[in-house]
Structure 1
Amino acid sequence: MAKILMITGDYTEDYETMVPFQTLLACGHSVDAVCPNKAAGETVPTAIHDFEGAQTYSEKPGHNFTLNATFSDVVPDSYDALVIPGGRAPEYLRLNEEVLNMVRHFFEASKPVAAICHGAQILTAAGVLKGRKCSAYPACAPEVRASGGTYAEIEVTDAVTDGKLVTAPAWPAHPAWLSQFMALL
């Protein structure tokens, strides 16, 4: 089974953090969930994003998600794959050079990477999308294109795999996204 790193942060999307974390564990994988400047046992607040007929998603308070590993202890070489949830966390996580270096490691080592929704913001900031097809929440499409990637316009329930990268627009895609990611593991 795979040893997986999940990089998350404050106001990560609730479903996009909880569901892959629990699903991957239930399937026998090991998942270390980390956040910069936080240690195992600390929490990150989550946000629930929903599609309720407005021009964009709504946001409600979610759960407190407990981290099970310490960011400063992460050695990227020791992991087989990477998961990047969406929500608001990627907006500030992409400013952290250590996060970006970790992400680059997985691409340089050709390890599986799964990113969903706004997680693409970290991929664009890391400069790893040039020539790659990437889905994301539609509001991230300009960033994907500006970084040299091809934005995959797919249904909100679909995912796309390009080499070792699996991406999806939002949590309604979990069955497709997680299935495609686990096929790479």
Structure 2
Amino acid sequence: MSDDVKLLMLAGDYVEDYEIMVPYQALLMLGYAVDVVCPGKKAGDKVLTAIHDFEGAQTYSEKPGHAFVLNADFDSVDTDSYLGLIVPGGRAPEYLRLNERVLEIVRAFSDRPTAAICHGAQLLAAAGTIKGRRVSAYPACKPEVELAGGVYADIALTDAVTDGELVTAPAWPAHPAWLAQFIKVLGASVSI
């Protein structure tokens, strides 16, 4: 597959299950090649996922998810060979943002199509790529978005927001809106 349809996804243990599985499968269905990488791991290694649900408590609940098999090596990432970046949420972003190479990767996509959902905004904030940009995220990430100079978009859990090349959403219930906006930023369209 040619480089112009190749996307990179950043993962780590306890990435949100739906937020890695659904976009990965949907983008493959549309013909994109999606390389999923994790620091310290190689193709064939697994990351554990967590399922976050909204069950009426003050915050989301967390349950064990699936093991997701990585298909590319983190140490081999050449950001120039990718059209865009996907940053799923869950607990992974809170520690991935401590890895300088992860932050370099995020910065390399600051002017290219990027889709971040839920706690994925933690990586964008830590990389310093959201100053002055309208960004949605899980509501608990609002202080980080604002401290990084972003404008927090307080939208419904089923909505997404696009600011230039950046598409963000608060959580997995936004997948239809988030993915539709992202593929538009990628320059594709789907009609039935």
Could you state the TM-score of these two structures normalised by the residue count of structure 2?
A: 0.95
Structure 2 SS opposite 1:69? coil
Question: Which position in structure 2 is the counterpart of 1:16?
Answer: 19
- Mark the runs of 5 or more structure 1 residues left unpaired by the alignment: none
After superposition, the C-alpha distances for 1:111-150 in whole angstroms (9 at most, x for unaligned) are: 1000000000000000011000000000000000000000
Question: Which position in structure 1 is the counterpart of 2:189?
Answer: none
Q: How does 1:119-138 map to 2 (within 5 A)?
A: 119-138=120-139
Question: Which position in structure 2 is the counterpart of 1:37?
Answer: 40
Q: Which amino acid counterpart does residue 100 of structure 1 have in structure 2?
A: L
- Mark the runs of 5 or more structure 2 residues left unpaired by the alignment: 187-192
Question: Which position in structure 1 is the counterpart of 2:151?
Answer: 150
Q: How does 1:72-87 map to 2 (within 5 A)?
A: 72-87=75-90
**Structure 1 residue 106: deviation in Å?**
0.6
Question: What is the distance in 1 between the residues matched to 2:52 and 2:152?
Answer: 21
Question: What is the distance in 2 between the residues matched to 1:71 and 1:159?
Answer: 28
Question: What is the distance in 2 between the residues matched to 1:42 and 1:22?
Answer: 18
Percentage identity across aligned positions? 69
Of residues 50, 61, 72, the one that matches 1:58 is 61
Q: Which amino acid counterpart does residue 130 of structure 1 have in structure 2?
A: K
Q: How does 1:96-111 map to 2 (within 5 A)?
A: 96-107=99-110, 110-111=111-112
Question: What is the distance in 1 between the residues matched to 2:87 and 2:94?
Answer: 12
What is the number of equivalent residue pairs in this alignment? 183
Structure 2 SS opposite 1:32? strand
Question: What is the distance in 2 between the residues matched to 1:30 and 1:84?
Answer: 15
**Structure 1 residue 2: deviation in Å?**
1.7
Question: What is the distance in 2 between the residues matched to 1:51 and 1:142?
Answer: 21
Could you state the TM-score of these two structures normalised by the residue count of structure 1?
A: 0.98
Question: What is the distance in 1 between the residues matched to 2:185 and 2:69?
Answer: 27
**Structure 1 residue 12: deviation in Å?**
0.1
